[in-house]
Structure 1
Amino acid sequence: MSIFLAGHKGLVGSAILRKLRKKNYKKIITISRKNLDLLDQKAVHSFLKKKKPKVVIIAAAKVGGVYHNNTHGADFIYENLQIQNNLIHGSFKNKVKKVIFLGSSCIYPKKSKQPIKEKYLLTGKLEETNEPYAVAKIAGVKMCEAYNKQYKTKYLSLMPTNTYGPNDNYHTNNSHFFPALIKKAHECKIKKQKIFKVWGSGKPLRELIFVDDIADACIFFMNKNIKDTIINIGTGKDMRIKDYVNFLIKKLKLKVNIKYDNKKPDGVFRKVLDVNLARKYGWKSKISLEKGFDITYKDFEKKYKKNQ
């Protein structure tokens, strides 16, 4: 079974690649951005026609945290729509048997009931700070649904919750909340800083999943016949951002005072996924925050030293 993995160098894509290799998949197709621009429809369609994969996994996307989403909305909606349109329609044109489209839990309404079921999609307004990205991902979900309905294809959308792990983005302004906290905690440790500054009030609740669990879910569902077109991928558990801060302080043995910047936006107050559908099919997350953090922090330390 030949598999084209789009976005193999990103956080999620690199984890999927590691997992595929570990499970001895031999026909894995990857290509760098330099050699294939996923925004170029003609180039994408030609590539799929030439390579003829049986499965396409769409882990390629433009992603970022609250600040970057809020200031670069046009880039987020254009690039994500273009990438997924080219890959989904290109897969259809070239008779790809199965597509796995990776979305995000931010597709759900801002004031969604908790925990969030798949059926809550499009039942309310989105969180304003990442609306362009969310709209693009919703379009991808609905595109897969429409092709399944009209053409009897087998395109599946997996919706992961907040993700962390090796190869994450730790940029000060455009990373997600947990990698941003890891970087701040590390700098408190090595620079012996006494103040740990945290974006927002620390009160919002967030669910986290280790990236290898997402990779495991992709391969699990790739090999299943699935009737549903959208499945949540998460742990089903959440904590306050304050709790994650305290977790890092304990792990890194910091002696600091926490300073919350209440002028910064909190985003959605609570966002935890209902993962009962995934469990019904036989999949659940396996890696604890403790274990996932230890693996992530080793990778972070290497990269941090290299960039100094």
Structure 2
Amino acid sequence: MSADQRTTTLRSATDSIGPRTISDPTDARTHDDVHYTPGELDRSATFYVAGHRGLVGSALWRHLKNQGFDHLIGATSSDVDLRDRAAVERFMSEHRPRYVVLAAARVGGIAANNSRPVDFLSDNLRIQVNVLDAALAAGVERVLFLGSSCIYPKLAEQPLREDSLLTGYLEPTNDAYAIAKIAGIMQVQAVRRQYGLPWISAMPTNLYGPGDNFSPEGSHVLPAMIRRYDHAVEAGATSITNWGSGSPKREFLHVDDLATACLHLLEHYDGPQQVNVGTGEDVTIRELADRIAEATGYEGETHWDTRKPDGTPRKLMDVSLLRAQGWSPTVDLTSGLRDTVAWYRAHREQARGL
């Protein structure tokens, strides 16, 4: 079937779906008129990975290649600025992919989110709306939107369940980014209700691995620590000071595991509910620091600056829904950290943010 024929088929199947009024917000998040049976994706179909040079996108690209997908497409920010609606529409209209994973986003750690909330809100909203609207216009059959565990309320019951969404206040240090990601979930659900397309969303926990951002200002806690401890080893330092108390607990997922989860969901899951992607296990930031010290060979002292913010006390994902789909992670934290440290040292001069 050609791209034009597929677009016509998808649209004709949903032309009869008229407007509806839903007064209960819970019903609005779960009502579904999609009739789709997940199965193995066509390895010869055009598959667009938005953000294919980033941490997530590059891992997904590698995995899809290994799984036999031979028509992958991507575009760098210099080729197509995803914040430019007209440029995104031209790109999607030209290539008309059958599958899309939206992994492109402006991301950063606590400091970046807290100091530049306008950037994180505005850029991510524009990227999402532009890509999803253009995908709808091009009749893209299957879309996977990737968000973040920060969409859940700061004090939500642990582990974080999918139905905790919109039940409380967000963590203020990254609420702008979280709101943008929540909007993306809602847009996917709206497309399902209005057009009957089998689009889905997945919310990864904290990610790490090859290709991460190791910059001092924009990185997340794990790559920031790897850079800090590696530099201390190289400089012969005997003391390191980390932000916060070290007591918050975090869950970490190797990006290669996320890549396998993405394809697994596309081939096994369909529903309006966003799906948590994680390991179901967490560690304190102090424990993480100890493991990174071991992975880098650092033998000095570690101190904690309690004047700096800790962020959310705990973020552990309930991954029951994902496990029910038959997926589980394969990379343990110790070996994942060892491999990530080795990658960073091999690419120190080329690593993003240096």
Task: Give TM-score, length-normalised by structure 2.
Answer: 0.85
**Residue 94 in structure 1 maps to residue 112 in structure 2:** no
C-alpha offsets along residues 83-102 of structure 1, whole Å, 9 cap, x if unaligned? 00011111111100011101
Instruction: Tell me, in whole angstroms, the C-alpha distance in 2 between the residues paired with 1:167 and 1:209.
Output: 14
C-alpha offsets along residues 204-242 of structure 1, whole Å, 9 cap, x if unaligned? 000000000111111111222412431000000001000
- Bigger CA drift: 243-252 or 255-264? 243-252
Equivalent residues in 2 for 1:36-115, closer than 5 Å = 36-115=80-159
How far is the alpha carbon of 1:305 from its aligned partner? 4.7
**Residue 14 in structure 1 maps to residue 58 in structure 2:** yes
Q: Is the 8 A contact 2:292 2:337 kept in 1?
A: no
How far is the alpha carbon of 1:260 from its aligned partner? 0.2
SS at 2:203's partner residue?
strand
SS at 2:121's partner residue?
helix
Alignment counterpart, residue 203 of structure 1, candidates 233, 247, 259: 247
Q: Is the 8 A contact 1:19 1:216 kept in 2?
A: yes
Instruction: Tell me, in whole angstroms, the C-alpha distance in 1 between the residues paired with 2:164 and 2:324.
Output: 18
Q: Is the 8 A contact 1:144 1:229 kept in 2?
A: no
* 1:175 counterpart letter in structure 2: S
Identity %, equivalent residues: 38
Instruction: Tell me, in whole angstroms, the C-alpha distance in 1 between the residues paired with 2:244 and 2:103.
Output: 29
How far is the alpha carbon of 1:151 from its aligned partner? 1.2
Unaligned runs of 5+ in 1: none
Alignment counterpart, residue 339 of structure 2, candidates 295, 301, 304: 295
Unaligned runs of 5+ in 2: 1-44
C-alpha offsets along residues 97-132 of structure 1, whole Å, 9 cap, x if unaligned? 011101000000000100000000000000000011
* 2:276 counterpart letter in structure 1: N
Instruction: Tell me, in whole angstroms, the C-alpha distance in 2 between the residues paired with 1:229 and 1:26.
Output: 30
How far is the alpha carbon of 1:6 from its aligned partner? 0.5
C-alpha offsets along residues 43-63 of structure 1, whole Å, 9 cap, x if unaligned? 111211110100111010000
Alignment match, 1:222:
266
Runs of 4+, deviation exceeding 3 Å? 305-308
Instruction: Tell me, in whole angstroms, the C-alpha distance in 2 between the residues paired with 1:177 and 1:83.
Output: 25
Q: Is the 8 A contact 2:226 2:296 kept in 1?
A: no
* 2:204 counterpart letter in structure 1: P
Instruction: Tell me, in whole angstroms, the C-alpha distance in 1 between the residues paired with 2:220 and 2:349.
Output: 21
Q: Is the 8 A contact 1:160 1:233 kept in 2?
A: yes
- Bigger CA drift: 244-253 or 17-26? 244-253
Q: Is the 8 A contact 2:192 2:272 kept in 1?
A: no
Instruction: Tell me, in whole angstroms, the C-alpha distance in 2 between the residues paired with 1:256 and 1:110.
Output: 34
How far is the alpha carbon of 1:153 from its aligned partner? 1.1
**Residue 25 in structure 1 maps to residue 69 in structure 2:** yes
Alignment match, 2:49:
5
**Residue 177 in structure 1 maps to residue 221 in structure 2:** yes
How far is the alpha carbon of 1:254 from its aligned partner? 2.2
- Bigger CA drift: 188-197 or 261-270? 188-197
Q: CA RMSD in A?
A: 1.2
How far is the alpha carbon of 1:192 from its aligned partner? 0.9
- Bigger CA drift: 25-34 or 289-298? 289-298
Instruction: Tell me, in whole angstroms, the C-alpha distance in 2 between the residues paired with 1:218 and 1:168.
Output: 18
Instruction: Tell me, in whole angstroms, the C-alpha distance in 1 between the residues paired with 2:329 and 2:169.
Output: 29
